């Protein structure tokens, strides 16, 4: 398969996983604040709110598990980038971080199942 075609298929798969995760969160009573919040150095897939809880969600999908589970892909370096992005989002939107319970979550989609790990890291 051509490299560009493989990249496009991976991009489309990632977008589909993010859409599934967003709908899943909405069914749980969350409001999606923003999807694909981009900043220098990274992106936060979903930022969602429910009551006073503000969740920064990394979505990982896997078609096969030969490279490990989806949630295992959110390593320390990725966690640090997400936390930095969360700080930037809060500053950019003039939010008082003390007025929210902030959560860093991971939603993994693999083998047609969803696993939501709330407070996956701090």
Residue-wise pLDDT for 33-80, tens only, equals: 999 999 998 999 999 999 999 999 999 988 766 666 666 778 999 999
Structural domains of the chain in order of their starting residue, each with its CATH number: 3-121 (3.40.1350.10)
Least confident of 62-66, 86-90, 112-116, 117-121: 62-66
Separation in Å, CA 95 to CA 13, 38, 57, 80, 102: 32, 18, 18, 20, 12
For residue 45, which of 75, 82, 76, 9 has the smallest C-alpha distance?
82
Q: Going by C-beta distance under 8 Å and a sequence separation of 6 or more, which residues neighbour residue 68?
A: none
Tell me what pLDDT residue 12 has: 87
């Amino acid at each position: 398969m051509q490299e560009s075609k493989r990249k496009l298929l991976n991009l489309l798969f990632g977008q589909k996983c993010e859409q599934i995760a967003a709908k899943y969160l909405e069914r749980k009573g969350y409001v999606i604040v923003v999807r694909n919040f981009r900043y220098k150095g990274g992106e936060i897939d979903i930022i969602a709110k429910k009551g006073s809880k503000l969740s920064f969600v990394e979505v990982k999908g896997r078609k096969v598990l030969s490279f490990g589970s989806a949630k295992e892909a959110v390593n320390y370096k990725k966690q640090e980038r997400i936390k930095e992005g969360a700080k930037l989002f809060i500053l950019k939107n003039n939010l008082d971080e003390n007025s929210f319970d902030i959560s860093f979550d991971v939603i993994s989609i693999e083998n047609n199942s969803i696993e939501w790990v709330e407070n996956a890291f701090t």
